[in-house]
């Protein structure tokens, strides 16, 4: 499947608001109608900050939300960002009226699994993985979709369950797992998922989309393969260009197919678990 590059815009946009969410996280709202109006959940933007070459390489960020509602009328683009290094530190300094250089939307939207009436889609997130999952829920709501879905979010402790309030506000059934037991299930999100899966007698009743830290993604893939579940995982590989030119983001193709490298930025970032190699 080819990426619709003709819909990809590169421009400077105005920052509307930068909201400090604590614990090194912040939400950046940008007036970017040309990107927001075509963006779909699971896609991302590449960010370059200021006019200098430091940092030289653009930084990829999932689209967290668009406003006022997902669809062609959307004008505002929201990013949920965790400060980790020079790029995200510079983004944290941005304030209303500043300009930010964006390229996007990039990558493919997350899939819509075909489930029967009794089926449930589980959206499993950890860390910054909550960002595309929230946009996915917003999109389902805006479309009036009948796809039943629940969110499972994991973090070390309750203070790090960033974004969970946003899911509650839009009325999505959301379950938390914390390593220290300070909120919800005491354990990691994969253990919570295993408990949830017990309630489904038929694996065809459940589908899943996961996005989280590498360890979570690996465990998710193993469970889904073992139980023959229709799960997909959105990867957050290192992405120097984001549009297929550099091969800096490749993973191997599935083990049962002739070796072929796949570019996560243009063929993903979300892949069905069966298409993922043992190591990714
Ligand atoms: C598809 C995708 C979606 C993402 N969505 C979000 C999101 O919604 N919110 C969020 O906070 N973060 C997201 N990230 C991660 C984010 O891109 C990195 O945290 C950011 O690039 C770090 O830049 P830095 O300069 O602050 O840190 P650095 O010190 O440069 O790096 C810190 C960490 O980020 C990784 N990183 C650096 N540059 C890149 C790059 N070009 N591509 C991927 N990883 C990189 C490094 O390998 C390192 O592990 C996403 C990554 C990908 C690939
Ligand atoms: S990031 Fe350059 S090809 Fe994927």
pLDDT of 97-156, one tens digit each?
Answer: 999 999 999 999 999 998 988 899 999 999 999 999 999 999 999 999 999 999 999 999
Q: What is the pLDDT of residue 55?
A: 63
Q: Where in the chain is the domain with CATH 3.40.50.80?
A: 110-233
| pLDDT, mean of residues 29-53 | 90
Does the pTM surpass 0.85? The reply is: yes
Cα gap 28→3, rounded to integer Å: 26
Q: Is residue 261 within 6 Å of ligand 2 at its C-beta?
A: no
Atom from ligand 1 closest to the CA of residue 83: 26
Ligand 1 pocket by Cβ (under 6 Å): 44, 55, 57, 59-62, 80-82, 84-88, 128, 131, 236-240, 269
Q: Where in the chain is the domain with CATH 2.40.30.10?
A: 5-106
Cα gap 111→113, rounded to integer Å: 6
Q: Is residue 106 within 6 Å of ligand 2 at its C-beta?
A: no
pLDDT band at 81 (very low <50, low <70, confident <90, very high): very high
Residue 272, φ and ψ in degrees, nearest 5:
-60, 145
Q: What is the pLDDT of residue 1?
A: 40
Cα gap 204→167, rounded to integer Å: 26
Q: What's the CATH fold of domain 110-233?
A: Rossmann fold (3.40.50)
Q: Which residue has the tokens 């299930």?
A: 185
Q: Where in the chain is the domain with CATH 2.10.240?
A: 235-280
Q: Is the alpha carbon torsion for 171, 64, 189, 179 positive or negative? A: negative
Q: Inform me whether the pLDDT recorded for 53 exceeds 60.
A: no
Q: Is residue 107 within 6 Å of ligand 2 at its C-beta?
A: no
Q: What is the pLDDT of residue 200?
A: 86
The architecture that CATH gives domain 235-280 is Ribbon (2.10)
The architecture that CATH gives domain 5-106 is Beta Barrel (2.40)
**Mutation to probe ligand 1, out of 26, 66, 85, 213 (largest number of atoms < 8 A from CB):** 85
Asked if the peptide bond before residue 68 counts as cis, ω within 30 degrees of 0, the response is yes
């Amino acid at each position: 499947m080819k990426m619709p590059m003709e819909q990809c815009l590169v421009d400077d946009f105005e920052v509307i608001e930068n909201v400090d969410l604590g614990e090194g996280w912040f939400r950046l709202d940008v007036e970017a109608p040309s990107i927001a109006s075509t963006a779909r959940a699971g896609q991302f933007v590449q960010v370059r900050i200021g006019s200098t070459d430091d940092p030289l390489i653009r930084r990829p960020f999932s689209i967290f939300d668009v406003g006022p509602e997902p669809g062609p009328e959307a004008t505002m683009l929201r990013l949920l960002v965790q400060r980790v290094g020079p790029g995200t530190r510079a983004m944290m300094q941005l304030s209303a009226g500043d300009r930010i250089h964006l390229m996007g939307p990039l990558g493919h939207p997350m899939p819509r699994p075909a489930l029967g009436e009794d089926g449930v889609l589980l959206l499993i997130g950890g860390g910054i993985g909550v960002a595309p999952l929230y946009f996915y829920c917003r999109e389902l709501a805006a479309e009036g979709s009948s796809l039943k879905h629940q969110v499972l979010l994991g973090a070390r402790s309750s203070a790090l369950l960033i974004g969970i309030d946003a899911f509650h506000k839009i009325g999505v059934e959301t379950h938390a797992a914390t390593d220290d037991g300070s909120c919800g299930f005491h354990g990691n999100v994969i253990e919570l998922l295993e408990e949830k899966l017990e309630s489904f007698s038929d694996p065809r009743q459940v589908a899943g989309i996961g996005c989280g830290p590498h360890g979570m993604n690996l465990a998710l893939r193993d469970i889904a393969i073992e139980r023959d579940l229709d799960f997909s995982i959105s990867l957050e590989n290192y992405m120097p260009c984001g549009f297929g030119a550099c091969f800096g983001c490749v993973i191997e193709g599935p083990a049962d197919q002739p070796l072929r490298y796949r570019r996560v930025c243009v063929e993903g970032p979300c892949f069905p678990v069966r298409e993922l190699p043992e190591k990714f």
